[in-house]
Amino acid sequence: MSVAFIFPGQGSQAVGMGAELAKAYPEARAVFAEVDEALGQDLSRLMWEGPEDKLTLTENAQPALMAVSLAAMGVLARTKGVKLKDRVAYVAGHSLGEYSALAAAGALSLADTARLLKTRGRAMQEAVPVGQGAMAALLGADLAQAQGLAKEAAQGQVCEAANDNAPGQVVISGAKEAIERAIALAPKFGARRAVLLPVSAPFHCALMQPAAEVMRGALQDVAIKAPAVPLIANVLASPISDPEAIRARLVEQVTGMVRWRETMLFLKANGATTVYEIGAGRVLTGIARRFEGIEARSVGTQEELEAAAQALAG
């Protein structure tokens, strides 16, 4: 059976993340130092000491989560001898995690990835005034039901499926009033529950178009190489390796739906039935375990990293 590495998105951040890796491994410390230098910011101190409200800001959370993922990758590659192209069939990342996946696969430099995510986070935050957008998780509804709900709730405003995460777990995004209408209508469309999410902006919907344009400009002059292994793109749920295709998909990703359920099904169908979530938290590990036939493991602590290195050795 082959292996895929997957990389977490926003929401997995927590004060203290990465501190254990930095203490234990020089390779991890080097990654955090390079990210700090690239941003001209003591991001690692914010990650390890807080305050939480500042870490949770989109422009900080995005590069911070990437830094933890790449710190773990640095240890796996340099200390444990785990070569991506020899041990892994595909990489994928949830939203900002797509950038982590590309950096891990050598398509983007670490410094460029940090700067791009800082820009992306700021642009996404600024695209919609605070309080005018919202997101909600629909539990028990499938994608078709979520799309039907979003269409009825829109009433001329933006209301769209943003993340198709797993069977029975779809997130919608859009104008606050439209999302509130969708929550009220949710039982009619088969949702067991509809939960407003504690996010600062309506990600992955048409309201993010200003941020997409910012990223189009930011990505224009960044060097992108073919990744060491194919990337399963969020907006396609299928593999790409061409640098110009990657550049285009990263722009589309800002407003496009994260097709994570289909990504998991693609990995399973193509034999990558063991997935390692590289970085902070266990959100994607939990989602992956909802797919029968997929084994999921987290790689965010020293103990988890050592176990993964042993399993991937040879």
- The catalytic residue positions are 95, 204
Residues 228, 288, 164: CA angle, nearest 5 degrees:
90
Pairing of strands 193-196, 90-93: unpaired
In the block, residue with structure tokens 């299928």: 238
62: exposed, middle or buried (Cβ count in 10 Å: 0-12, 13-18, 19+): buried
- The upper half-sphere exposure of residue 233, i.e. CA atoms within 13 Å in the direction of its Cβ, equals 21
Q: What is the three-class DSSP state of 65?
A: helix
In angstroms, rounded to a whole number, what is the distance separating the alpha carbons of residues 209 and 196?
Answer: 22
In angstroms, rounded to a whole number, what is the distance separating the alpha carbons of residues 12 and 8?
Answer: 7
C-alpha R_g of the chain: 18
In angstroms, rounded to a whole number, what is the distance separating the alpha carbons of residues 101 and 70?
Answer: 9
Query: Which residues are 5's β-sheet partners?
Result: 91, 276
Sign of CA dihedral 120, 126, 128, 130: positive
